[in-house]
């Protein structure tokens, strides 16, 4: 009798404990659901539709698979043909592309340049997930600052993200010196700020600026800096406007001295205005030009026009300056705050095939039929088609944003 009573008592105790646990779990779940439904905080859960519908999204966190190791040099590698997963968007799917970057819309007959994937040596870039990026950007601002090359990277990032945002939940606004894309439900923005020299100049109006005559105020940055204060993630770039035209037309010493002075002014502004606990700063290396085909095809005398494939093997053209690269590295090493240097120059050097060439615009106007027939004079071998190379730059930026997000968590 006593053994049976002990067993019955044990069973009853287990039932009591199990019931209590179910009540606790149920109460906790109810509290969590209530918190989730009432909160618009997107750091934990996301919703595909408007907040009042309360349809739960999957949690989006940066995992260990999204990491790039410290030993991973993403700037070294090769371009791999990948027509199954690239491009990640099309001209037709993204209404935010400018005419300058829409090469196929402007008559380019092939799309080969869209279907190459960058493969770093010894490691992999994480696959771009727009929902993860929106999770990181929730309640934040990501701003690209620079010239028209940087505007192309801005447009690329908008196109890579916008497809997962429902209609009516996104907006695009152009104001003087700025373009702003907003993901309304996430309270997130991706922005572009026109500042071709970073410091102040007479070319600081985004559309009404002089190209041939340039006056740069090397020690002045206050006016632009007011628009950068408090921005969560700042991505700077400045090169093309310093070295514009052939290298025979400029005095290299004067340019490099002025460039160093400008970056010192920028560095002083960063140290006085950036809170490293809440803000992240990135600096893009120079975007190369492909003006002289003899550099990759000895004996020829053309440019990037009619090129369909990347350069194979080692290559560094005259469109990029080691001296400027050294100045950037020196300034960043002397800074008292951390700035992440995104070296996209070498990988872009191989891509003679991906420029807008005669399939873009010249000062906001599409090339005429006669101009397209004269690529030696009118081909643009500085700007990039989209989809294209700037998408890879953003994949690298995305990898660093994920890494920083994971470290923060």
Active site amino acids? 148, 380, 383
State the Cα–Cα distance between residues 156 and 405, nearest whole angstrom. Answer: 21
State the Cα–Cα distance between residues 319 and 247, nearest whole angstrom. Answer: 8
Residue 121 token pair: 């040596």
Dihedral-angle region of residue 401 (phi above 0 means left; psi in -120 to 50 means alpha; beta otherwise): alpha
Q: What is the 3-state secondary structure (H, E, C) of 224-268?
A: HHHHHCCCCEEEECCCCCCCCCCHHHCCHHHHHHHHHHHHHHHHH
Residue with the two structure tokens 């040099």: 73
Give the orientation angle of helix 389-408 with respect to helix 148-162, to 10 degrees. Answer: 70
Residue 19 token pair: 């019931």
* C-alpha distance from residue 334 to each of 138, 228, 337, 380, 384 (Å): 32, 21, 9, 36, 32
Q: Indicate the SS3 state at residue 74.
A: coil
**Could you say which DSSP state residue 123 is in?**
S
Contacts (Cβ under 8 Å, ≥6 apart) of 91: 97, 102, 104, 105, 386, 387
Among the listed residues 62, 46, 183, the one whose alpha carbon sits nearest the alpha carbon of residue 129:
62
Cα 231 to chain centroid distance, Å, stands at 15
């Amino acid at each position: 009798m006593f053994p049976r009573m002990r067993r019955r008592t044990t069973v009853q105790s287990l039932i009591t404990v199990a019931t209590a646990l179910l009540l606790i779990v149920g109460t906790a779940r109810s509290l969590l659901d209530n918190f989730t439904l009432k909160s618009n905080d997107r750091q934990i859960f996301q919703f595909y539709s408007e907040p009042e519908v309360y349809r739960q999204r999957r949690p989006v966190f940066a995992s260990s698979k999204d990491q790039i190791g410290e030993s991973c040099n993403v700037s070294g590698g090769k371009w791999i043909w990948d027509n199954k997963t690239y491009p990640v968007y099309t001209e037709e799917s993204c209404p935010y592309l400018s005419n300058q970057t829409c090469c196929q819309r402007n008559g380019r007959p092939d799309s080969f340049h869209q279907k190459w994937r960058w493969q770093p040596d010894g490691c992999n870039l994480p696959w771009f997930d727009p929902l993860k990026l929106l999770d990181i950007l929730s309640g934040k601002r990501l701003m690209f600052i620079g010239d028209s090359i940087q505007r192309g990277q801005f447009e690329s990032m908008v196109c890579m993200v916008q497809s997962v945002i429902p209609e009516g939940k996104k907006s695009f606004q152009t104001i003087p010196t700025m373009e702003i894309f907003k993901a309304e439900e996430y309270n997130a923005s991706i922005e572009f700020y026109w500042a071709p020299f970073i410091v102040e100049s007479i070319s600081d109006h985004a559309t009404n600026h002089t190209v041939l005559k340039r006056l740069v105020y090397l020690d002045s940055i206050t006016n632009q800096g007011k628009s950068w204060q408090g921005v969560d993630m700042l991505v700077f770039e400045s090169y093309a406007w310093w070295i514009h035209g052939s290298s025979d037309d400029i005095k290299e010493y004067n340019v490099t001295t002025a460039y160093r002075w400008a970056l010192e002014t920028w560095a002083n502004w960063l140290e006085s205005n950036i809170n490293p606990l809440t803000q992240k700063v990135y600096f893009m290396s120079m975007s190369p030009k492909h003006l002289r085909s003899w550099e990759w095809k000895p004996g020829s005398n053309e440019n990037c026009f009619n090129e369909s494939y990347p350069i194979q093997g080692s290559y560094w053209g005259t469109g990029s300056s080691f001296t400027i690269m050294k100045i950037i590295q020196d300034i960043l090493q002397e800074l008292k705050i951390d700035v992440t240097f995104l070296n996209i120059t070498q990988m872009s050097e191989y891509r003679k095939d991906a420029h807008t060439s005669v399939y873009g615009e010249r000062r906001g106007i599409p090339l005429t039929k006669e101009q397209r027939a004269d690529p030696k004079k009118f081909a643009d071998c500085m700007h990039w088609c989209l989809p294209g190379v700037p998408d890879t730059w953003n994949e690298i930026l995305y990898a660093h944003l994920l890494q920083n997000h994971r470290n923060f968590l």
